Structure 1
């Protein structure tokens, strides 16, 4: 099954971005940065999401990210599905931290259960078929709302979400233009999907 080994985010200041990501999330080589000043306005069409075990761990990640320079888009709060919050990194990338649990069962940790890249797409069915045609199989599907693709054990899990719905999750208007400023690198090959998301193979 296809895997994503890492994502590369285009940033104006690579040194500052590397320092931020090391301090805020500690994902190591799963998140890399590269110089990127392509025009981009509004919602860039994706979120990077950390799934953790409990609310106190969510709050810990949110607090450290804010201290490192992130901006709060949604503070940690309970919802129908669990507990979570949203921050925007200094480079503009949107990060959600969430847990399916609404109650703590132990002390907060820095453990991450899953790292998910959610792509906001105009047509979930069309994008799903595009990825299947490029050798990326469906792992889970919930109608036209949410599709998980590729190998669930991949360092970065890939998911498709309707763009407006994902923008609502992020706490931002859905409008946006220009570059996504993100590249996915793995074994699926080099291509650009119907929504302009770029894939590359590791050199």
Structure 2
């Protein structure tokens, strides 16, 4: 089973990004950083999600992110599926912070249970087939709208979403050009998918 060990965000200001991610989320090896001046505008075609066990933890993480310099895109609120909010980090990466629970069961913490990478793709079925051919196993699939891969205990989970739909969930326009500013570190080797998302061996990525 293909395992995603980390994601590398390509940022303009490396020192500032390091300060933000340490202060906001306390992330370690799962999220790595690399300096880049690659041109990019608008929606970069992906989001990262922190999945927590209760709404209070969502609030704690959103508040910490905003205090560290993130821009709120969607305030934390209840929805049909649970509770969540969306922020954009100073480097431009969009983060969804969510819980499937609508009720708190304990004191607020900044712990999260899962880190999920959602890729916004033009053709979900074609992207799913591409990834199956590269060693990933489908866990859940909802036609041409959404695919979740079975990644076991891997540090980073992976899902596919229609690009336009993912942008709507994030609260931004789907328009965007240039670099994704993202490299996915795994044991699947080096390749680029049909939507331009680059994969590389985790051992070759920069470490936060």
Query: What does residue range 37-186 of structure 1 map to in structure 2 within 5 Å?
Result: 37-186=37-186
What is the alpha-carbon distance in structure 2 between the residues aligned to residue 123 and residue 43 of structure 1? Answer: 17
CA-CA distance at 1:150 after TM superposition: 4.3
CA contact (8 A) 1:8 1:182 kept: yes
Q: Scaled by the length of structure 1, what TM-score is found?
A: 0.98
**2: CA distance, partners of 1:152 / 1:176:** 32
Q: Distance in 2 between matches of 1:115 and 1:58?
A: 13
Alignment of 1:21-32 (within 5 A): 21-32=21-32
Segments of 4+ in structure 1 off by > 3 A?
Answer: none
| Secondary structure class of the residue paired with 1:108 | coil
**1:10 paired residue number:** 10
- CA–CA separation in structure 2 for the residues paired with 1:151 and 1:84: 23
SS of aligned partner of 1:104: coil
Shift of 1:152: 2.9
State the Cα deviation string for residues 139-194 of structure 1 (Å, max 9, x = none). Answer: 22122221112413110001101101100011000111000000001101100000
Q: Distance in 1 between matches of 2:83 and 2:143?
A: 24
Q: Match for residue 190 of structure 1?
A: 190
Partners of 2:46 and 2:158 lie apart in 1 by 11
SS class of match (2:106): coil
Counterpart Cα distance in 1 of 2:85 and 2:110: 16
C-alpha deviation, 1:26, in angstroms: 1.3
Structure 1 residue runs of 5 or longer lacking an equivalent are none
Q: Secondary structure at 1:126's aligned position in 2?
A: helix
- 2:199 and 2:27 map into 1 onto residues whose CA distance is 20
1:10–1:35 contact (8 Å) kept in structure 2: yes
- SS of aligned partner of 1:110: coil
Between the two proteins, the alignment pairs up a number of residues equal to 203
Tell me how far apart the structure 2 counterparts of residues 109 and 67 of structure 1 sit (CA, whole Å). 16
- Looking at structure 1, the residues matched to 19 and 7 of structure 2 have their Cα atoms a distance apart, in angstroms, of 16
